[in-house]
Chain A
Amino acid sequence: MKRTLTQLGGGLALALSFSVSYGQAPTAPAKPVTPPRPPSVYSNPRSDASDPRIGLKAGLHDAGEAASGMEKIATLPKPKGFAPGDPGTTTAPPPTEQQGVGGEAPRTPPQQYGSANTDLAFSGNHLFVGNYNGINFYDIDNPGKVKLMTSVLCPGGQGDVSVYGKLLFMSAEAMNGRIDCGGQGIALPEGYKPPPPPPPAPEGTPAGTRPPRRPPPPSPDRFRGVRIFDISDLAKPKQVATVQSCRGSHTHTLVVDPNDKENVYIYISGTGPVRQPEELAACSAGDPDKNPETALFRIDIVKVPLAHPELAKIVSSPRIFSDEKTGAANGLWKGGTHGEGLQTTSQTDKCHDITVYAAIGLAAGACSGNGILLDIKDPKNPKRIDVVSDPNYAFWHSANFSNDGTKVLFTDEWGGGAQPRCRATDPMHWGADAIFTLDKGKMKLASYYKMPAAQTDTENCVAHNGSLVPIPGRDILVQSWYQGGISLLDFTDASHPMEVGYFDRGPIDATKRGMGGQWSTYWYNGYIYGAEIARGVDVFKLKPNKYLTQNEIDASNQVHFDELNVQNQPKIVWPQNAIVGRAYVDQLERSGALPAARITALMTALAGTDKKSAGQQVGLAKGLTKDAGSAKSTADGQRMRALAGILNTLGAARR
């Protein structure tokens, strides 16, 4: 049965390739007159016109598809309440605030793709898919036949999710989120008349010198922060806590302190506008020079007592951008003031997302104009230990560590995700990944990587969320690029990242821009799950190609997580067995590190189960250990040592 399905994959791929000739790229915008400067480090090249991803047919549910190194095994459209409304059930907007700005009578705003799917979390055989309008729970016991279990309506955007045991966490940041999960938004007070638009400033008024603002009426119903649900009963999750925060929660990160069994922590990254103190006490914005209590320039840390999650609250708001010497909260800008009416309000004042890697006691913060490295050994008091910036980077968005903690990959979400930034005219090192080496707490830029297939002008595309694929001996990330699809990239060599696989669909609409594509694609226990913003949930599995062998895929399937929250990065540990060993042998063969005869001998030895082969195994291990030091790449040396370890283990077991 399994075999038939595998063969079927080949058939599908063939069928899909027929659609390639249909598509047509809409006219691209004018080419920049000045070509950007080449970057100071390696940036992978764009693929040529023969790339099967170019020219895929457009369509919401019938787009052309192209894949390599992975195959799609299931797609499940968004359910009711998240999918576009059925004709007739969508109510017209109330006639409240629309008049007076010109134009026709208000139309129903377009929502042909429903509410956006966002981030993913995994626990056991359950998948939790965040959405601007709530969360959907799926049973993934049989990943080829993913089953929807429960739909939870609870709007608030973005709906970033994490799971820990029976607790489910969800981010809310938007203006329409409500404590009671209602979908009606926040009503204005009875009889409230919106103020007229502010009068235009006289010519020459310096920016940033506007009159004091009128605070909007506070609402006791509004919720912006992190929601906590008890999911003991998956059919009826209960909201047990709503932890409000000043900027709401754009994303959040689950942090588990190995020394604290009674609590877990949540780092809140808020990027939205700061609330008024009338709505949430002690919230105020402004420059830290003028307002030491400002809610800018910090992250918020929630402590969640596992026995009493209803008591969860913010326990610290560390100023992780502060200057070490002066203590100034806005310490990442060291340029001083410039005079000439310039304001000083534009420093990095927030994180967009933080990835913690407890195994090495570090976190990587993608924080607006900077990438920062935090020591999180005391999770309540993260300490900044390094910071980087990059003139090619528009907006530091998210991060992943390599499993051995010697590299960190940041993403630049240039354009915020709704814009098409993978056109042939968009430079390859803009809106890309930046790969840094990490040594003794210092980050150093090694290269840029961008999904290489040029996309059309109607496809929103930029670097987005991904997770490590546990192939031993290599650093491989499966990464979302919105409508640019999914790219499998190998960054084992930090200076020369390369693509080893992909999946892509044609645009949702060939004529106009639509928000869609992969928000998050994460590897979980042998499968890759994609949260497609418009189209639903996709499930993939790896498939051998030129850059990926079946042995490597088999080795990745030796890894099992009980739970996965990608921003709480787990340490991957492979078992010491022959399956994993064969992946290393394939890699040593691919790189030409060992002659063919030795490759054959290693494969034979790995298959051996008797006493005689134990001697061979130990002998070969000795040779590998000896040669590892002179291997032509660090990666090959590490593979040889790891393989020697496996051979020794196998040999020792049979003596």
Chain B
Amino acid sequence: MAIRVAFFVTLALGATVAWGQSAPIVQPGAPGTATTTVAPAKAALAVPKVADADVVFMQGMIHHHSQAVEMVDLLRTRGKSKDLLALGERITISQSDEMRFMKEWLMERGKPVTMAHDHAAHMAGGGMPLMPGMLTSAQMATLAAAKGAAFDRLFLTGMIQHHTGALDMVDDLFDIPGAGQDPVMFDFATDIDNTQRAEIEIMRRMLKEIR
């Protein structure tokens, strides 16, 4: 008997998952105005708007992040400080995950993961332009030639420069009207700001310690 009851209720519980419930849907107005009732048929979720600037931001940030991953690759064989190695691993995990996130975001919206040709065409060799804060090829070469404590210092100053550029990119994004209205996009961009700002602070502490 007990088993039977249990079986029956299990079925019922499983079913609630699909049902959901309905209740009056209301929309408040500005203070001082009335709250209105919304017909269920009109309550469908608004589609988040995707602006040009959002797409360009994502494409540019993928490019930007890829350099951080390259820099950590150098750190693994050339760096000295164990704390810095650990931080480098965290940066590379963060930025690799975010690159994947950005690629998926673009692909789901039918956008290419690299910038349109006309944005990059004027650059020598047709490659993508350097995004704010990215190390120049000369800076990267100097970094790759260094080792030990000298490498650590160059890595820290370079990564601080690199991350600061990401903060600029986020600022630039939100300066563009209509950008960042998609909540996923808004959260992602503010998370980049939060994470990299905190990492910059950690790196500045490290830089002070190894001097």
* A, B assembled together: yes
- Is residue A341 contacting chain B, with contact meaning CB distance below 8 A? yes
Among A47-55, A86-94, A540-548, the stretch that binds chain B is A86-94
Chain B residues contacting A341 (CB-CB under 8 Å) are 161
- Distance from B93 Cβ to chain A, minimum over Cβ atoms (Å): 7
A-contacting residues, B164-211, CB 8 Å: 164-165, 167-168, 170-172, 174-184, 186-188, 190-191, 194-195, 197-202, 204-205, 207-208
Query: Which residues in B have their C-beta under 8 angstroms from that of A181?
Result: 27-30
In the complex, residue of chain A having the shortest beta-carbon distance to the beta carbon of B1? A4
Once A12-B10, A153-B43, A430-B90 are accepted as A-B contacts, the answer to whether A98 and B50 lie under 8 Å apart by CB is yes
Stretch at the interface among A187-195, A377-385, A476-484: A187-195
B168 touching A207 by the CB < 8 A rule?
A: yes
Beyond A108-B47, A111-B48, A148-B22, is A338–B194 a contact (Cβ under 8 Å)?
no
Whether the Cβ atoms of A419 and B97 lie closer than 8 Å is yes
Q: Using CB atoms, name the residue of chain A closest to B110.
A: A104
Contact with A along B83-110 (1 / 0, CB 8 A): 1011111101110111011001010111
Interface size on A, residues (CB 8 A): 149
- Which residue of A has the minimal Cβ distance to B166? A207
Which chain A residue lies CB-closest to B175? A213
Is B141 interfacial (CB-CB < 8 Å)? no
Complex-state Cα separation, A76 to B17, whole angstroms: 6
Asked whether A512 is an interface residue with its Cβ less than 8 Å from the other chain, the reply is yes
Please tell me which one of the listed residues A133, A333, A342, A419 contacts residue B101 in the complex, with CB atoms under 8 A apart.
Answer: A419
8 A Cβ contacts from A346-371 to B = 346-349, 352, 368-369
In the complex, whether B51 has a CB less than 8 A from a CB of chain A is: yes
Number of interface residues of B (CB under 8 A): 123
Total A-B pairs, Cβ < 8 A: 388
- Say which one of A239-247, A287-295, A592-600, A620-628 lies at the interface with B: A239-247
- Contact code string A260-276 (vs B, CB < 8 Å = 1, else 0): 00000000000111000
Asked if A416 and B195 sit within 8 Å, CB to CB, the answer is yes
Which residue from B47, B52, B165 sits with its C-beta under 8 Å from A100? Answer: B52
The answer to whether A103 and B160 touch (CB under 8 A), given A79-B20, A333-B204, is no
Residues of A83-129 whose CB lies within 8 A of B = 83-86, 89-94, 96-111, 114-116
Asked whether A207 lies within 8 Å of B132 as measured between CB atoms, the reply is yes
Bound together, the chains give a CA A396 to CA B167 distance in angstroms of 18
Docked complex Cα distance between A425 and B97 (Å): 13
Interface segment among A33-41, A443-451, A629-637: the answer is: A33-41
B184 touches A346 (CB 8 A): no
- Cβ-based interface call for B116 (8 A): yes
Considering the chains assembled together, what is the distance between the CA atoms of A238 and B34 in angstroms?
7
For window 1-50 of B, CB contacts with A under 8 Å fall at: 2-3, 5-7, 9-10, 13, 16-35, 38, 40-41, 43-50
Q: Which residues of A approach B to under 8 Å, CB–CB?
A: 4-5, 7-8, 11-12, 15, 29, 32-34, 36-37, 61-62, 74-86, 89-94, 96-111, 114-116, 132-133, 137, 147-155, 157, 173-176, 179-186, 188, 192, 194-195, 197-198, 200-201, 203-208, 210, 213-217, 229, 235-242, 250, 271-273, 310, 333, 335-336, 338, 340-343, 345-349, 352, 368-369, 389, 391, 393-396, 414-421, 425-426, 430, 512-513, 515, 536
Going nearest first, the 5 A-B pairs with the smallest beta carbon separation are A416-B191, A200-B129, A102-B116, A207-B133, A81-B43
